[in-house]
Structure 1
Amino acid sequence: MSARDEILRQVRAGVAQGDAASRKAAVLAYLAARTAGPQPACGADLPRRFIDKAVSLASTVQQVSALADVPAAVAGYLRGLGLPCDAVMTADLAGLDWAAAGLTTAVRPAVDADRVGISGCFCAIAETGTLLLLSSPETPATVSLLPETHIAIVPVSRILDTMEAAFACVRAERVTLPRALNFISGPSRTGDIEQTIVLGAHGPCRVHLILVEQA
């Protein structure tokens, strides 16, 4: 028996042990029994920690009081940079009054020609200034990855302290994991050429975060 055949034999044997529900229960029990490793002290003011870390990663941050204020904030940001006031967005934001703010929006996956993508987020992580986005038919990953400008709406109530807390939240709130979990920490960047940092090499060159106090 070849090494490949032996590996596949062991995989088949492992999968055959019990049904999917029992295997999932065993995994959850294992995770619950684990002792958490060292984690940073993020302090009581998680929004401030998140903002400071996000800005250090070249994101820009804006704060609004309510979700209804988001379209005007987005319009002001785009016009301030001379960017087009049309965008592709995820379906969870379609109910806002974008037209009243002078924006033309489309709810669909992004394509190469789209210059602005607007998305929500599953949660945000104060430890590192990172967004966590979950893919789904209603929240396609392309909206945050293809356009050169990504605008993310972040409810303050969804800012968690650590990466471990974010994973625990996913397990608690989702029956099954989505196809992709995308962690976004500022604009895309690379230092491959002469160790010079270049933004937008593999994704958006701008990441603008709008924090909503009452979402």
Structure 2
Amino acid sequence: MDTSAARRNILARIRSAQGRPAAPGGAERAAVDDYLARHPAGPRPELPSGMAELVARFSLEAERLSTTLAEVESLTDAPGETARYLQSLDLGTDAVAWPALAGLPWAEAGIGVAFRKPFDADLVGITGCFCATAETGSLVLLSGPDTPASGALLPQTHIAIVPASRIVAAHEDAFALMRAERGELPRAVNFVSGPSRTGDIEQTIVLGAHGPYRVHVIIVRGA
């Protein structure tokens, strides 16, 4: 269900109650851009900047979150690594994937992929990412027609393809990249930090509580 119109109407009513136009104009957007450009950055830990160092730090932090990782040379190698991973855990060869990934050679790798949003019965979801953050080992996913958010949230197993060139240092850099490349944020921005988990009062951690209990990241060195 598309709730974009309802969201616009709610925001328009809030702006009207504040005595502002229903939608922001050019002057208001310029003022926001100016504020963001002048706003001083808060304290941040020292983080790597080179691609190799960012990949290494991302991998370290992701593994701490119980994410498993593999590296391949090119995007066309990702289906083969996906097949290897699924077979190693006897997870079958059926999956759903973002429509944005339809051009990769899934059939040649022996994987039956449906390019759509997942249903309850779908056990494996394959996504890309907008970027990833080295500081926390997180994936940053932006929703859209070809990148549905549910692909990373509903299936029990989430496989994410991460180009090495899209690993940034920290969350601040991820939001800066969103503003530079997208301008406006989409309906949903999700930071995925390993499998879903929860802990009870005795601090017993349970994976897969509110989402996937497996996250496997395929880092593409040449992308």
Short-chain TM bin: over 0.9
The answer for the alignment partner of 1:72 in structure 2 is 80
| Alignment coverage as a number of residue pairs | 208
Q: CA deviation at 1:12?
A: 2.6
Instruction: Give yes or no for contact 2:96–2:151 (8 Å, CA) kept in 1.
Output: yes
User: What is the alpha-carbon distance in structure 2 between the residues aligned to residue 18 and residue 40 of structure 1?
Assistant: 38
Q: CA deviation at 1:92?
A: 1.5
Q: CA deviation at 1:19?
A: 4.6
The answer for the alignment partner of 1:127 in structure 2 is 135
Paired residue secondary structure (2:66): coil
Match of 1:141 among 138, 146, 149: 149
After TM superposition, the runs of 4+ consecutive aligned structure 1 residues lying more than 4 A away are 8-11
Paired residue secondary structure (1:24): helix
User: What is the alpha-carbon distance in structure 2 between the residues aligned to residue 208 and residue 113 of structure 1?
Assistant: 20
Q: Deviations over 1:115-138 (max 9, x none)?
A: 000000000000100010000111
More displaced stretch, 8-17 vs 37-46: 8-17
5+ unaligned residues in a row in structure 1: which ranges?
1-7
User: What is the alpha-carbon distance in structure 2 between the residues aligned to residue 9 and residue 108 of structure 1?
Assistant: 34
User: What is the alpha-carbon distance in structure 2 between the residues aligned to residue 107 and residue 156 of structure 1?
Assistant: 24
Pick closer, same or farther for the CA change 1:13–1:201 going to 2, 3 Å: closer
Query: Residues 152-167 of structure 1: matches in 2 within 5 Å?
Result: 152-167=160-175
Paired residue secondary structure (1:15): coil
The answer for the alignment partner of 1:118 in structure 2 is 126
Q: CA deviation at 1:14?
A: 4.5
User: What is the alpha-carbon distance in structure 1 between the residues aligned to residue 37 and residue 59 of structure 2?
Assistant: 31
Give the TM-score taking structure 1 as reference length. Answer: 0.92
Q: CA deviation at 1:11?
A: 5.8
The answer for the alignment partner of 2:5 in structure 1 is none
User: What is the alpha-carbon distance in structure 2 between the residues aligned to residue 131 and residue 151 of structure 1?
Assistant: 11
User: What is the alpha-carbon distance in structure 2 between the residues aligned to residue 174 and residue 9 of structure 1?
Assistant: 24
The answer for the alignment partner of 2:17 in structure 1 is 12
Paired residue secondary structure (2:41): coil
Q: Which entry has the higher C-alpha Rg, 1 or 2?
A: 1
User: What is the alpha-carbon distance in structure 2 between the residues aligned to residue 14 and residue 124 of structure 1?
Assistant: 39
Q: CA deviation at 1:16?
A: 3.3
1:63 and 2:68 matched: no
5+ unaligned residues in a row in structure 2: which ranges?
1-12
Paired residue secondary structure (1:207): strand
User: What is the alpha-carbon distance in structure 2 between the residues aligned to residue 18 and residue 122 of structure 1?
Assistant: 27
* Percent identity for Structure 1 against Structure 2: 55
Query: Residues 173-192 of structure 1: matches in 2 within 5 Å?
Result: 173-192=181-200
